[in-house]
A and B are shown apart, each in its own frame.
Chain A
Amino acid sequence: MRASLTMAERKTGLGLAAALALLGLVMAAAARQGAMAVHGAMALALGLVLVFRLGAALYDAPAAIPDRQGRYDDAPTRFGIVMTLVWAMIGMAAGVWVAALLYWPEATPLWPATSFGRLRPVHTTAIIFGFGGNALIATSFHVLQRTSRARLADALSPWVVLIGFNLFCAWAVTGYLMGSTQSKEYAEAEWYADLWLVAVWLVYFALYIRTLARRAEPHIYVANWYYMAFILVVAILHIVNNIALPVSLAGARSFPVWAGVQDAMIQWWYGHNAVAFFLTAGFLGMLYYFLPVRSGRPIWSYRLSILSFWGIVFFYIWVGSHHLHYTALPYWVQTLGMTFSVMLLVPSWASAGNAIATLNGAWHKVRDDATLRFMFVAAVFYGLSTFEGSFLAIRPVNSLSHYTDWTVGHVHSGTLGWVAMIIFGALYTLVPQLSGREAMAWPRAVEWHFWLAVTGTLVYVVSMWNAGITQGLMWRTYDDSGALSYSFLQSVQAMAPYYLLRAIGGAMFLTGAAICALNCRATMRAAPAGAGARDRPLTLQPAE
């Protein structure tokens, strides 16, 4: 971080770090105990570390690289990639552990922080925000600069975004371990963490717009449309869903202002669009850049990109209510959610089809290059899981699938098969490039990772399909006398083999991701001294 900053930026950074330390001190002093005090102490510690590092850098020479404007700013992307892999390990390990607990429940240690209910949001938050979010931010900085042929608008903002975002993730995850949670799914973090994320997000949006304003390309490339939709709509969703009244400004506890059926609708409007704009739009941005780059083929259809982009932005927002079929939510809202979910298949498959058709003429590369194969498999799983999603949103299908492990299987076919695969494809493209190398340090390990990831995903998803359909059928089966055939407990017992298989599939996926993390580390360490990306931005010509 420090090497790329000028003296003036180091001083500003020092001020920001001191402000963070002060904020942490105030939080810790006001709360005195509980999650908020611990989180204050974390912010204080982070602020102090940054103060010392930036303070020391004030006495370092040389101040900065002379022709800075003639280079892309890649240091934040490198840091973001490291954090992506760190959170991947935390989130996937937590996932495998809670999956195992469902098979061996007596293995739960008698320590509250290791209980299923507290670790489940650790898994989801570490994966969605930690792993997915860091990957999105890191790649967005890279893609934004390359497709605009301009350097990031300033050197400090990307660090504020990345460090601030990771502090949010760390606050959220440690809060759940201490029992501090709002209990709103995928938005469990408490009020002050939510406010903090809003501030970080504003810096992110401003940086994006300011960099676009400096672009040397007249058109904004399609990948940036998706990254912008991700930034904008996630902000709207996050703010509305998390409006809460704290019990006291000196404590973590708060109550959401929404209650009952309104809260349910807002929660799933948020929840499903976290899938849409966090786990889909952002990653489609990643796909639209890294797939053409790696395959050496242009995107197959420009018109299809436009159609699918606006289709996704407009249709997705409507579909959240399909999470509430047959509940106390008004019937007409359920019907709207179902209808739009089915229509959503059109732009979703337009995107998937566009990605796969882009590979036409490059199939020999897909065969030989595991990195490109990751992206191809991601596009295929994207198509499959969006079809499954539209299907599960149909009311009678949902009556069987809802509340069962089928939903869990569906989500993981999206997150493992699509989101994680496209991240790995992007990382394997990006890491060598940023390290000034032709290839990863261990090319064979990429192949191993690919097969572990694909097999793990299939084992996971197929076992959860079986589990979910079995549960759904057992719950609704009547015998000849008109009584329910199975007790709930019998349906739990029937799950045992599937839960075991799921844990095995997850462990395979985790193993592959660990290989990826080690491979990326080895590649980054093997970078020649002073190596950086070889491509250069267009330097702006001074006016006559």
Chain B
Amino acid sequence: MPLRLHYNLEKLSMGLVAAIIVAASIGGLVEIAPLFTIDETVAVPKDLRPLTPLELAGREIYIREGCYACHSQMVRSLADEIDRYGPYSLAGESAYDHPMLWGSKRTGPDLARLGGKYSDRWHVDHLTDPRAVVPASIMPAYPWLARPLETGNLGPELATLARLGVPYDPGMIANAAADALAQARPDSPGAEAARGRYGERFAARDFDGNPAELTEMDALVAYLQSLGTQTRAPYEVLAEGIE
């Protein structure tokens, strides 16, 4: 009987089309749709802050150079990963990440808890010539990051992210380029205004040690130093688990 049914279905091209669409849609609907409706799926931590414009510029360099091909940003809930990298990653941590950068391969180590682990100087030396600081490293060198950072597009980018639900207010969008510069020049007049917009919980300093210019290196190091510092939630969840 089912064979007979199929025998007839094979004669109808649009019947096959409809059957394929139905059969191939069910799994996706069951697995994906609830992720948008169940509140607990993404409990956005109360203290989660969005990236500053300079850090966002760094994230785009991270994407441009394909860093995600070798570095994950997702600590799994396994003992050895927690011991090696730090508290396991929570869904809410990447709630503002368009797109997420969880990664799928660790040719190099996970970076989800990288922020604050190494000095700015180490990052600059390491990105410029990895084997100068880690002789056995197989990471490519990125000497071209010393070039000036293009900040003109940061405002529209923040505005786009705001439309997608990332909490950037109009003041942040209007001053994106100025705030990017201010983060790398903490003694400049604009620094106070940036603090007013983004709070105290971000690192402000001359990341690349070159006060003459705002470079791509400044942005990338600022981003790397922000990883895992946007919220304290994973540390609190882990501490509760241990108690």
Please give the residue numbers on chain A whose beta carbons come within 8 Å of chain B beta carbons, in ascending order. Answer: 101-103, 105-106, 108, 110, 112, 115-118, 120-121, 176, 179-185, 209, 212-213, 218-220, 225, 228-229, 232-233, 236, 240, 245-248, 251, 253-267, 269, 277, 303, 306, 310, 313-321, 323-330, 333, 336-337, 340, 399, 402-404, 407-408, 471, 475-476, 478, 483-484, 488-489, 492-493, 495
Contact = CB atoms under 8 A, between A and B. Distances in A.
B69 interface: yes
16 contacts: A121-B69, A209-B14, A213-B13, A240-B28, A245-B163, A255-B157, A257-B98, A260-B91, A260-B95, A260-B97, A261-B35, A306-B6, A317-B26, A333-B35, A403-B104, A489-B137
Nearest to A269: B28
Contact of B35 (A101, A262, A316): A262
Residue with the highest number of chain A CB atoms closer than 10 Å, among B28, B81, B164: B28
A102 B160 CA distance: 37
Nearest to A485: B80
Given A247-B157, A255-B98, A263-B97, 14 more contacts: A118-B65, A121-B66, A255-B161, A259-B165, A264-B94, A265-B31, A269-B31, A326-B76, A327-B74, A328-B94, A337-B31, A402-B104, A475-B81, A484-B83
A115 B64 CA distance: 11
B105 A408 contact: yes
A223 B128 CA distance: 52
Contacts of B69: 116-117, 120-121
Interface in B123-142: 130-131, 134, 136-142
Contacts of A330: 35, 38, 41, 91
Residue with the highest number of chain A CB atoms closer than 10 Å, among B93, B138, B164: B138
B32 A266 contact: yes
B113 to A, nearest CB: 13
Contact of A245 (B17, B41, B130, B164): B164
A458 B44 CA distance: 46
Given A220-B10, A403-B105, A116 B140 contact: yes
Given A179-B64, A259-B98, A245 B27 contact: no
Interface of B: 3, 6-7, 10-11, 13-14, 16-17, 20-21, 23-28, 30-32, 35-36, 38, 41-42, 60, 63-70, 72, 74, 76-78, 80-81, 83-84, 88-110, 130-131, 134, 136-144, 153, 156-157, 160-161, 163-166
A250 B114 CA distance: 35
A329 B99 contact: no
Given A262-B32, A488-B84, A233 B20 contact: yes
A70 to B, nearest CB: 23
A62 B102 CA distance: 59
A184 B65 contact: no
Contacts of B7: 219
A260 B140 contact: no
B138 A117 contact: no
Contact of B94 (A120, A185, A260, A408): A260
A414 to B, nearest CB: 15
A388 to B, nearest CB: 17
Contact of B31 (A225, A258, A313, A333): A333
Contacts of B164: 245, 255, 257, 259
Contacts of A182: 99
B66 A120 contact: yes
A247 B173 CA distance: 13
Contact of B70 (A116, A118, A254, A262): A116
A325 B31 CA distance: 14
B104 A323 contact: yes
Contacts of A118: 64-66
Contacts of B157: 247, 253, 255
A261 B41 contact: yes
A244 to B, nearest CB: 8
A265 B138 CA distance: 31
A328 B20 CA distance: 31
Contacts of A277: 24
A328 B93 contact: yes
Contacts of B153: 247, 251, 253
Nearest to B38: A330
